[in-house]
Chains A and B, each alone.
Chain A
Amino acid sequence: MDTLSNYIFPNEFHITWTVMIVLYPYITGMVAGAFIVSSFYHVFNMEKLKTVARFALVSSLAFLLFATVPLLNHLGRPERAFYIMMTPNFSSAMSGFGFIYSFYMIIVVLEIWLSYRVEIIDKYNKSNGIVKFIYLVVLLGNANDNENTRRFDKRLVIALASFGIPVACILHGYVGFLFGSIKANPWWSTPLMFIIFIFSAIVSGLAVLIFLYQFVHWMRKRSIDQDCLDLMAKWLWGFMIIAVTLELMEVLSISYENTERWAILRQLIDGKLKLSYVYLQIGLFSIVPFIMLTITSLSKMKNTKVKNLTIWIASVMLLLQVLFMRWNVVIGGQLVSKSMRGFTEYFPGLWDKEGLIVSFLIILVPFVLLYLFDKVFPFFGEKSH
């Protein structure tokens, strides 16, 4: 039977999770993705990625530091945030959050510390006074640097990186699971959700690295490590294919099963999400970069300028693709009424506490942080002109 009235339960006029909860998986996605890229270099010895390995690692930390900001901004009682670690209820998928997050933070910080140790010792030797002391504290009082310590550090980094890959997957897959395990929500509840989240994380991680790497090099008028960029672009191409295929397969199988669930989701896709899902996420930001990356990956483009620009634009589009994907999952799922008879509305205000300006700032801060870090420890070598 059809419903003519758009009926939603009276408590559903305001959605519970706002754009802040869209940002959280978006940011952690970049964290996990960037980390996995740096691990490719350390663990699988992909020499070509050496140029971006440390940059990827530090980016990962920059995003990680700010991943919780949107969550805290959203909590009704942010001052109680630590209850999640003090009184965890382990039947809740969310209760592991604090532990996984801190554990991952430790791994990333340790790995950065170890891979920058030689530089810090160098700075320590060259500085005096209070600055020297600060470096000594950062070095935990040990300024030994020789063949042996370097070899040892390297081995530790490899161990941490290989350990970090599953942890990064868990961190992000777990966010997918938070949504996928909600049986009350027809748009979220699917065991595929966490796999989709992992792959889209890698896509956003690769895309943000390509985006920043080229951007920084253009700004500084330096030559690009073409091998490294080509490799990253190919990986991006591969991972985006997997991510988008999974996203589409999920919808395909729901539609093919054609249960009561599809009756409402079909209306969602064809109605409220038509623009952000069908036209933007799938149409513009998946198919177009797919074509662009197919060309740059398969054809031998002589003109590297055009090629690199194409790769850059594709990476920007894929960053937006993942952002739209998060929006369509988080917000889209909440637009469906649990009465299965209608949809609610949501769009963030510009100046709200959880509005667009705040979101924009939260996304921007990690980039500023990266810029500052680069001032102290230049990512791509000292000679920058």
Chain B
Amino acid sequence: MEKIERRQFIKLGLFSTAGILVGSFFAFAKTEKDIEVNSYEDLLKFDWGYIVDTTRCIGCGSCVRACKVENEVPEGYFRTWVERFEITKDETVYVDSPKGAIEGFNRDNAQTAEIVKAFFVPKLCNHCYDAPCIQVCPVGASYRSPDKVVLVDKEHCVGCGYCVQACPYGVRYINEEKGVADKCTLCYHRIQKGLAPACVNSCPRNARIYGNLKDPNSEINKVLHQRRYGLLKPDLGTNPKCFYIGLDKEVK
């Protein structure tokens, strides 16, 4: 009697263990399908690039507002902003970007002189190929993702601010609340799901284009093959990946 009981008990134990194992394999297999995480190999097929068409921008500031909401950008700091250039008849350059143009622009900056040329230039992180911000980070918290987006590891950053100093474009800031460096991520959380970055999505004039530079048929490559473009501060050797169509020499 005792023996049989024991045998039954062992049997029961074996079956239930097997059951749990098989069941959990199923369960895990299922969740694996549910979560959309691209594998490292998948990511290597991408090289995210960006185009700013300055000839199309109307300075409405939609992108700045969209970015602020999407990324909870703290008050007084910007992951993207829009600059306005006004060049007068006597060749004087007026530049401004009131509150990063989050409310757009209203009055002319040049009040007295006659403006002969004016245009808007949206700015954001260039996700440089040779990014000085990554080079100088003492703990390796600034890094390049396999799909070539420059990101900050918020769990690892010590908040020294060296990267803020090293970026020639002024796109980084220290998030005072979190004590870590912060900047444009190209809406990494969105592009992973195939969604456009918030700024691209919100631009009513299609002045912002993003896409995969490794894909020869992507829109971004088509535009880059058709149009002439410039880079910001190319002399600094940062090799930026944000291409500016219709870039004026006054823009730095």
Contact = CB atoms under 8 A, between A and B. Distances in A.
Are A and B subunits of one complex? yes
Interface of A: 1-5, 7, 9-14, 16-17, 74-78, 80-81, 83-84, 87-89, 91-95, 97, 178, 182-185, 334, 337-341
Closest 7 CB pairs of A and B: A76-B159, A76-B179, A9-B170, A184-B168, A89-B140, A94-B138, A7-B95
B166 A1 contact: no
Interface stretch (B8-16, B50-58, B75-83, B218-226): B75-83
B160 interface: yes
Given A4-B92, A7-B97, A13-B76, 6 more contacts: A1-B93, A76-B157, A76-B159, A91-B136, A92-B138, A337-B170
B151 to A, nearest CB: 14
A338 B133 CA distance: 15
20 contacts: A1-B87, A1-B93, A3-B92, A4-B92, A4-B94, A5-B95, A7-B83, A9-B170, A11-B77, A11-B171, A17-B165, A77-B159, A77-B180, A78-B158, A80-B158, A83-B156, A89-B139, A94-B160, A334-B165, A338-B252
A1 B92 contact: yes
Nearest to B88: A4
B180 to A, nearest CB: 6
B25 interface: no
Given A11-B170, A14-B76, A92 B97 contact: no
Given A75-B158, A87-B156, A11 B173 contact: yes
B190 to A, nearest CB: 22
Contact of A91 (B135, B159, B164, B173): B135
B250 interface: yes
B73 to A, nearest CB: 10
Contact of B179 (A16, A77, A94): A77
Interface in B107-140: 109-110, 123, 132, 134-140
Contacts of B161: 16-17, 74, 76
Given A11-B78, A76-B161, A87 B167 contact: no
Contacts, number: 146
A182 B238 CA distance: 12
B135 A92 contact: yes
B23 to A, nearest CB: 39
Contacts of A13: 76
A341 B252 contact: yes
Contacts of B159: 75-77, 80
Nearest to B98: A10
B100 A341 contact: no
A7 B136 contact: no
Nearest to B156: A83
Nearest to B80: A10
Given A10-B100, A16-B165, A83-B156, A340 B91 contact: no
> Most B CB atoms within 10 A — which of A16, A81, A87?
A16
A69 to B, nearest CB: 15
B180 A83 contact: no
Contact of B97 (A2, A10, A81, A94): A10
A91 B140 CA distance: 9
B157 A183 contact: no
A5 B94 contact: yes
B249 to A, nearest CB: 9
Contact of A12 (B156, B170, B180): B170
A81 B76 contact: no
A93 B178 CA distance: 24
A93 B156 contact: no
B158 A76 contact: yes
A351 to B, nearest CB: 17
A89 to B, nearest CB: 4
B33 to A, nearest CB: 34
Contacts of B162: 92, 94, 178
Contacts of A183: 132, 168, 236-237
B97 A338 contact: no
Contacts of A10: 77-78, 81, 97, 99-100
A5 B109 contact: yes
B178 A76 contact: yes
A80 B139 CA distance: 10
Contacts of B137: 89, 92
Given A1-B93, A11-B173, A80-B158, A184 B167 contact: yes
Interface string B159-189: 1111011111111111110111100000000
A102 to B, nearest CB: 15
B236 A184 contact: yes
B95 A3 contact: yes
A374 B50 CA distance: 64
A83 B155 CA distance: 11
Nearest to B175: A76
Nearest to A338: B170
A184 B99 contact: no
B178 A84 contact: no
A11 B184 CA distance: 12
Given A9-B170, A338-B170, A2 B92 contact: yes
Contacts of A88: 138-140
B96 interface: yes
A81 B158 contact: yes
